[in-house]
Chains A and B, each alone.
Chain A
Amino acid sequence: MRKSDGFLLFIGASLVLLAFILIQAGYVAQGDFALLRQKAQVVKNLGLTDLCLSTEARYTRHPSQADGHTARQSHPLALDHFPSGSIIGPPEILQKLHD
């Protein structure tokens, strides 16, 4: 087999795999929709406000409920104390307050 054929075969197979991923992702997302609606119902029944992504600090466990002006917590330029604070930034409402 020519080298160019091998390369074109690899690119073709990758394209097919990527197309398959896109189609499969669409199907999975559609299938998950019932589960997501169920989760939304849990949120409604329990009155939840946030995703449970990190449990180490209040402002990363409940970013939307964080205090407005507490040192090391939620201030856009405050020194961050917890590692998850580097991925979960301050909520928009606080950014607006400090504009």
Chain B
Amino acid sequence: MIKAIDKQRYILDFTLSSLWRRKGKNLALVLVYTLVVFILGSVMFFTQALKNEAAVVLRGSPEIIVQKIVAGRHDLIPVSYGSRIGKIRGVNAVKARFWGYYYDPVAKANYTLMVPEDLPLKDQEIVVGAGISRVRRVFRGNSIVFRTYDGKPATFFLKGILSPESELLSSDLILISAPGFASLFGIPPDRATDLTVQVANKKEIPTIAAKIVDALPDTRAITREEILRTYDAVFDWRGGIMIAILAGAVLAFLIFAWDKAAGLSAEEKREIGILKAIGWETADVLQMKFWEGLVISLSSFFLGIILAYFHIFYASATLFEPVLKGWSVLYPHFNLTPFISGYQIAILFFITVIPYTVATIIPSWRAATIDPDAVMRT
């Protein structure tokens, strides 16, 4: 047993020396390989963390939201629809929700305005998200001027700033009083943005949602499960930019594998020929090539995955920021909770390390089984 281990260590010594002789090529290979693992790992950690965060946090979102649809677009809903929905058996409460968007030409940013239910605010008082405070450089006690729907300036005073810990939810949020909201947007008093429905028995949510749409055909009911599933689907590996990144990584691996499977370089073939001529057996050559693949893929895997972890959870996913930010000025500063598991790491290991290691062995086996004399003469 000890003899076998010693033999493997000698082979590994030789492999490392052999790799170091072609250090330029091999270091470049490790760099590119690390980058591929880093990107794949970053996407995996980022999407998983966001999915889990959404699943935990959005459990508190309304059970059913009823939107009015006019010509395929979300429209203001008559508050009177609430009483009709309230008559459906199993409905506990129906509340009107007032929210909307405001484009601030000063900061060139979009804000989400919302009338909170439980937070008492005077007509001209607002509470803003940490992102707005940062972008507009406004703090508690400062005033902020918005332009109303009819072009008049309206001054609001900052009663407070929402906690920076909740930026992922409230970075662009402005909490405003109902009269303030109405004066800013000129919304008729009998209209709301949408209605939220509270249901007595959670199991009846889909049935009640269907009954609402049946009773009010010009509405759309969005259930909490659908909200949660949205985030599951949005950050699924099969959708959006995830598939583009995965496709890029898969192509990179195809190039690796193609390069390896297409055959060894003349220098590598000569090396195998010499090794066989001085007494190495085919099995020894294959073991050497196996170690070669493993040294490169394992080193890249560990470097890539550790860098990915720090990128997502300690550098706030900086590389993904430009994509998420797009053209928006206001972007939340957030730290994700590290929801990672051994399962994710195992998946990453099997899609990165195994294919490369296998791809290095096949051409070596072909070269190792031919006559050393013929190999050295080519």
Q: A residues engaging B (CB < 8 A)? A: 2-4, 6-8, 10-11, 14-15, 17-18, 21-22, 24-25, 28-29, 32-33, 35-58, 60-65, 67-70, 82-89, 91-93, 95
**B171 contacts the other chain (Cβ, under 8 Å)?**
yes
Known: A11-B299, A33-B56. 11 other contacts (CB 8 A): A4-B12, A7-B295, A18-B345, A21-B309, A21-B340, A37-B56, A48-B60, A54-B328, A56-B110, A61-B101, A65-B194
How many Å lie between the Cα of A75 and that of B125 in the bound state? Answer: 38
Residues of A close to B118: CB separation below 8 A:
45
Assuming the contacts A18-B306, A64-B227, asked whether A29 and B324 have C-beta atoms less than 8 A apart, the reply is no
B161 to chain A, nearest CB (A): 14
Instruction: Determine whether the beta carbon of B56 is less than 8 Å from that of A52.
Output: no
Instruction: Determine whether the beta carbon of A52 is less than 8 Å from that of B169.
Output: yes
Residues of A close to B241: CB separation below 8 A:
86-87
Residue with the greatest number of chain A CB neighbours at <10 A, chosen from B230, B320, B337: B230
How many Å lie between the Cα of A83 and that of B69 in the bound state? Answer: 26
| 10 nearest CB pairs, A to B | A44-B60, A14-B302, A83-B326, A56-B328, A25-B338, A43-B60, A84-B326, A91-B230, A4-B12, A3-B16
- Interface residues of B, count at CB 8 A: 92
Instruction: Determine whether the beta carbon of A68 is less than 8 Å from that of B72.
Output: yes
Residues of A close to B20: CB separation below 8 A:
3
Instruction: Determine whether the beta carbon of B328 is less than 8 Å from that of A92.
Output: no
Assuming the contacts A18-B345, A88-B240, asked whether A47 and B117 have C-beta atoms less than 8 A apart, the reply is yes
Q: List 24 A-B contacts (CB under 8 A).
A: A3-B20, A18-B306, A18-B345, A22-B341, A25-B338, A35-B165, A35-B337, A40-B57, A40-B58, A40-B59, A45-B119, A46-B117, A47-B114, A48-B170, A52-B173, A55-B112, A62-B112, A63-B231, A64-B230, A65-B65, A67-B72, A84-B325, A86-B241, A89-B234
How many Å lie between the Cα of A62 and that of B222 in the bound state? Answer: 12
B178 to chain A, nearest CB (A): 14
Instruction: Determine whether the beta carbon of B69 is less than 8 Å from that of A68.
Output: yes
- CB-CB contacts below 8 Å: B45-100 with A: 50, 53-54, 56-62, 65, 67, 69, 72-74, 95, 97
Residues of A close to B69: CB separation below 8 A:
67-68
Instruction: Determine whether the beta carbon of B170 is less than 8 Å from that of A63.
Output: no
How many Å lie between the Cα of A89 and that of B248 in the bound state? Answer: 19
How many Å lie between the Cα of A20 and that of B12 in the bound state? Answer: 27
How many Å lie between the Cα of A56 and that of B321 in the bound state? Answer: 13
Q: Can you list, as one digit per residue, whether each of B322-348 has a CB less than 8 Å from chain A (1) or not (0)?
A: 111111111110000111111001000
Assuming the contacts A51-B50, A52-B167, A82-B326, asked whether A2 and B60 have C-beta atoms less than 8 A apart, the reply is no
Residue of A nearest to B129 (CB): A52
Residues of B close to A85: CB separation below 8 A:
326
A42 to chain B, nearest CB (A): 6
Instruction: Determine whether the beta carbon of A53 is less than 8 Å from that of B168.
Output: yes
**B226 contacts the other chain (Cβ, under 8 Å)?**
yes
Residue of A nearest to B299 (CB): A10
Instruction: Determine whether the beta carbon of B233 is less than 8 Å from that of A42.
Output: no
Residues of A close to B226: CB separation below 8 A:
64, 91-93
